[in-house]
Structure 1
């Protein structure tokens, strides 16, 4: 079984659509700005980040007091009538909204709000006469005008999964052949997560559930990928079908801790007796991509290859640039900030070639802290940054939320390692340093299993001397920066922050580390 995602790290709730030979994918972003990361592929394995759909304050309102794991939930991305349509829920401010674009790389429109649509995880589907159907978690369905946001009638309750199954969510509606198919997730987004499906002669039902439901789940198995669910289907240009879905990779002993968040996986789909059958997880871009040309599902039941082009293969480590010198007027799209990013607090223009952060919140415990980071994408990784703290206090941190984060913090002549674990917030190490810029470093390493109580990884924090030697100040158990401990829906983000005054960063580098 392949245990590697096609989009590693905190990329949950994937939604995908195809236009010609091109595939586009979007994910949830929760409390981070900009919102809804967007990717492009020609083969469903090699994904290139092309931007973020909600990249302006007028599109994405995240109040500074909004909680972590609030914000932007579960988009649906579709192409219809020559435009891209993206519907999503902002649970912290505006509710359900729609933005559109002719180019998925942007710019995307100002949002159209849907005040009459109640529920998260909204989906869009159009029938043959142009009626637009919006289906939400629950599962409820509305007829809407997507251009104005107006609802055209009351909500209709439709099939909501298996008897007694909790949390019916992530609905997607498709017209395939003679039937309308309603794909949903159920069982909650934890270890019981699953994908089920039903079909009907019309988009509003009556729906007949698949006798083989759930069509995808890893619950009750020893598969290295767990919590599989929240899926979307796409038909390739050669006629084959594929499913993208989220999953996690728990590490350590019992109960298993996942630290990277929910990631995006890929699997082939075949159709038997009018129902989709999900195959083995497809290998990511780091695996051989197979021969060129079209394909059909192999008769021996092996996993087929996704549509292959001559686009150079990208290993998942290359999804985002590994090193940023901050030489451009703006930040690259993989950099995300907490809740907003005003240029008065985060800019590359004040000191050319440096990222300047000006403090607002006084620590990483504060929801308005100035923090800019990138998703941790590998279990074993190294992040380094050159900081000039001569005008303030700040550092490098690995963050899950306000109550769960580790940081190495620099001020004039001293560095400290801080560990926030729920109500505890000790300084675990202090080291005098010479004045001037210095290199901060955070590493995550995966230990050899030592029994049921082994944690998922170790987080080490330290500095680099001018000669390149590393001085480790602390080695901390990574389980406390996991979803199983902290709760919520996000994954780790590693980045730079300012807690007092102004701090400058000359560069920041992220790289995987071989186990």
Structure 2
């Protein structure tokens, strides 16, 4: 009855737990009890989507009810279908838009650097016609890529890149500095990133640079990459990748596999027209 105690265990413990390995959400926990705007009560906690640990911990709401003797019980059932959101809220059904034309004066709120230094933002230059990103390091591992959280099981994104002489730029699915996949280019040649390794082991920056479009498709863990020199005619990259193991149980850190853009080397990469869409 008081924060100072004495404490008493709930007779309903455990409040919620998996009943089967086939349930849609697992590893649920660390709940906070909150009252909604309409007077209903909820637990908000995190969990992993069954079969999609790559998406990382996702925020979940589960309804609760208070008992006559002052305890609460979970009322969410198996959570296999979405529940009606609390009335009075204005959040869209699909959440934040992830596409970005990079014409703004600041970095969109969907973006974040991986493992940023205190002055990481100085690498950015907002030209009004694209986002210039100063190269850093030599590979995605040490370049602090720009990442965006994707919550869909299947999705595709495209981006246009101007790669200046001395730079290497690319598009990735990035979990951590130990685990990522994707393709990079110096404007003339490609480098493949897989298992957090580079093939070939090193791509020398070009003295010419170049213009390139990349398309990354993650269709339920099967990753396909296309390249284009004009944004209209696309060529399939010859290697596909399977990424269902790119998650916490393999590499730790409680992170998620995210779409990411990187710039390495001494030059700059200008990114334009990042377009994200969910797939059926």
Structure 1: how far apart are the matches of 2:178 and 2:37?
46
Structure 2: how far apart are the matches of 1:364 and 1:310?
39
Residue 396 of structure 1 pairs with residue 162 of structure 2: no
1:310 Cα shift?
Answer: 7.8
Given that 1:397 and 1:496 are in contact with CA atoms closer than 8 Å, whether structure 2 keeps it comes out as yes
Q: Specify the alignment match of 1:246 in structure 2.
A: 46
Give 3-state SS (helix, strand or coil) of 2:4's partner.
coil
The unaligned stretches of length 5 or more in structure 2 are none
Give 3-state SS (helix, strand or coil) of 1:208's partner.
coil
Structure 1: how far apart are the matches of 2:89 and 2:53?
35
Residue 426 of structure 1 pairs with residue 204 of structure 2: no
Q: Specify the alignment match of 1:345 in structure 2.
A: 123
What does 1:462-501 align with in structure 2 at a 5 Å threshold? 462-464=226-228, 466=230, 468-473=232-237, 474-500=239-265, 501=267
Q: 1:204 to 1:221 in 2, by over 3 A?
A: farther
Given that 2:23 and 2:80 are in contact with CA atoms closer than 8 Å, whether structure 1 keeps it comes out as no
Cα root mean square deviation, aligned: 2.4
Given that 1:458 and 1:476 are in contact with CA atoms closer than 8 Å, whether structure 2 keeps it comes out as yes
Post-superposition CA distance 1:290-348 (Å, at most 9, x none): xxxxxxxxxxxxx7x4432384x6222xx222421111111111110122453431221
Q: Specify the alignment match of 1:411 in structure 2.
A: 186
Post-superposition CA distance 1:96-124 (Å, at most 9, x none): xxxxxxxxxxxxxxxxxxxxxxxxxxxxx
Q: 1:505 to 1:471 in 2, by over 3 A?
A: same
Q: 1:436 to 1:314 in 2, by over 3 A?
A: same
Post-superposition CA distance 1:3-24 (Å, at most 9, x none): xxxxxxxxxxxxxxxxxxxxxx
Q: 1:467 to 1:406 in 2, by over 3 A?
A: closer
Q: 1:282 to 1:244 in 2, by over 3 A?
A: farther
Residue 362 of structure 1 pairs with residue 138 of structure 2: yes
1:380 Cα shift?
Answer: 0.2
Q: Specify the alignment match of 1:510 in structure 2.
A: 276
Structure 1: how far apart are the matches of 2:97 and 2:39?
34
Question: Scaled by the length of structure 2, what TM-score is found?
Answer: 0.86
What does 1:283-322 align with in structure 2 at a 5 Å threshold? 284=82, 305-309=84-88, 311=90, 314-316=92-94, 319-322=95-98
Q: 1:310 to 1:486 in 2, by over 3 A?
A: closer
Which has the higher relative contact order, 1 or 2, with Cα contacts under 8 A spaced 6 or more apart?
2
Structure 1: how far apart are the matches of 2:189 and 2:145?
20
1:236 Cα shift?
Answer: 2.4
Give 3-state SS (helix, strand or coil) of 2:193's partner.
strand
1:427 Cα shift?
Answer: 4.0
Give 3-state SS (helix, strand or coil) of 1:365's partner.
helix
Structure 2: how far apart are the matches of 1:218 and 1:496?
37
Q: 1:511 to 1:467 in 2, by over 3 A?
A: closer
